[in-house]
Amino acid sequence: MELVHRSRTQDAFPRSWERLGPDRFHVEAVLPHDHPFFAPVGADRHDPLLVTEAMRQAAMLAFHAGYGVPLGHHFLMADLDYATRPAHLTVGGLPTVIDVEVTCSELKWRGGLPVQGRVDWVVHRAGQLVATGMGATRFTSPRVYERMRGGSAEPGVAIPRTAPVAAAGAGRGRIEDVVLSQGPREGVWELRVDTRHPVLFQRPNDHVPGMLLLEAARQAACLAAGDGGFVPAEGRTHFHRYAEFGSPCAIAAEALPGAAPGEARLRVTGHQDGEPVFDSVLSGPLGAG
């Protein structure tokens, strides 16, 4: 679990790994069918964000186990793109074994360790392609991270004071998983950060985790898409800066042209203190998916 930065067994999805080449790795992972947060979506499909999280964890495993990046180092993702095939992600009431191929490139080294690089993922299920992805990441030692974060490096606590939007409209089944509150105008919501959430906050943190921002983007896209529902089968996200505790973060969503019939394409952005935090473009089927 430490190698994938998770503190709970049920949230750590990789099970084994092997090196296929100097910069290629195979990671076997298991997608749970009954995860309380990454619950099935649409017509009984695995959540695309569950697949994305499994890919992200596979990359952390590869860098820690394959390249020797120390466990205390911070894993910072600047870009995260994914594309899933919902038709190949049926759940069926049982956990799903997936094979994640991790390829690392454009590596920059310092002191014998990678400090920056690109990661590409290809995911198969029983030989069938189910997802691809790309990430741009870097690693920092605790000392460098503390210097980079300055006075913000201390772990914080956040308990939301605003009411959540309706769970169903945000694409969630449980109100405790809703991360948005009603905003000042249509199409804009306020990020709700609750550091007591057992999945989104596995350990003390000094900023809002990227997983929470990805979830906020999904929920905003669901709200903007309307009552029929929306499945984020594909996503492209760029993180501009950290989202901090204690300052409102506005999440805005708007529909984009070019979506296929029966699908939606939406742009979601996050802004805090007048500065961009992230932007995402999500696309996927409307309704059952």
Q: Which domains does the chain have, with CATH numbers?
A: 2-147 (3.10.129.10), 154-285 (3.10.129.10)
Confidence at 153, pLDDT banded by 50, 70, 90: low
User: What is the reported pLDDT for 156?
Assistant: 80
**20-43 confidence digits (pLDDT tens):** 999 999 999 999 999 999 999 987
Q: In this model, does residue 211 exceed pLDDT 60?
A: yes
In the β-sheet with 188-191, what is the strand arrangement from edge to edge? Answer: 14-21, 24-31, 96-110, 113-125, 128-140, 74-84, 234-239, 275-285, 263-272, 249-255, 188-191, 180-182
Q: In this model, does residue 246 exceed pLDDT 70?
A: yes
Of 64-78, 103-117, 142-156, 232-246, the one with minimum mean pLDDT is 142-156
Q: What is the mean pLDDT of residues 241-266?
A: 94
Confidence at 289, pLDDT banded by 50, 70, 90: very low
Higher per-residue confidence, 203 vs 127: 127
